[in-house]
Structure 1
Amino acid sequence: MARMIFVNLPVVELDRSKRFYEALGATNEPKFTNDQAACMVLSDSIYVMLLRHEFYSTFTGKTIADAHKSSQVLLCISADSRAEVDRMVEAAAANGGKADPGPKQEMGDFMYGRSFEDPDGHHWEPMWMNAAAADQGAHPPEDAHA
């Protein structure tokens, strides 16, 4: 079985958050959705679990961070093209999110990334990377910033 990831996010308004992620292209998995949580499928191996604050609190004794005021995690997700990066950020902004809370990453033909926040302030970074350049590793070519 392929390894999967389930990103659990605390949310204030479950229905609003479901609509937001659906606008970005995620689909709801009703088998794992109820009045306390929603499972949003981003791919065959990536799921976002939206959990009402009260339900999220049953999994941890820690205070839930206000993602509008502090940062605990940056969620980076791959995109197939620069256009898809832009589409995701534009869809986020048009559906209650915030576009570009972080700097754009313009690295020529090597990599392109932007960012958005969901309605609860969770910071996402859609990123496109040139497959040929990715084979070279984490260090972009010298002229990548040109």
Structure 2
Amino acid sequence: MTTTSHSARTRPVAGTITLWAMQVLLALIFAFMAFPKAMGDPIAVAPFDLIGLGIPGMVVVGWLELAGAIALLIPRLCGLASICQVPLMIGATILSALVTPDLVVIPALTLVLVCIVAWFRRYDTVALIQIVRR
């Protein structure tokens, strides 16, 4: 039996296409930002040293970003993935404001986009939780 989520039934086609385009863009951003961290690139360590996380914290954040990037492309997981990326991007925005204030607009804009996706995928997230609870 196939179930259709509430959002899929009520969202216009143009809205669905726009939402998926945002998710693909976010997945690319997260993947691009994740690889240096996940692979332990020494250049990416400085901000994590500043907050006391060092290389282990950087690698964990990198893998979380990469997992989120992949999950944003999976229909059942994209709502939950966007919700999980919100606190990650809040931290990135704050850290960027402290370390590189000139570049704070990038994580801040990414945070806004993730929040938009999370909002429009909220019914998909509820449906996923209901499936897990069964």
Tell me which protein shows more strand as a share of its residues.
1
TM-score, structure 1 length as denominator?
0.27
TM-score, structure 2 length as denominator?
0.29
Q: Which structure exhibits the higher relative contact order, with contacts defined as CA atoms closer than 8 Å and separated by 6 or more residues?
A: 2
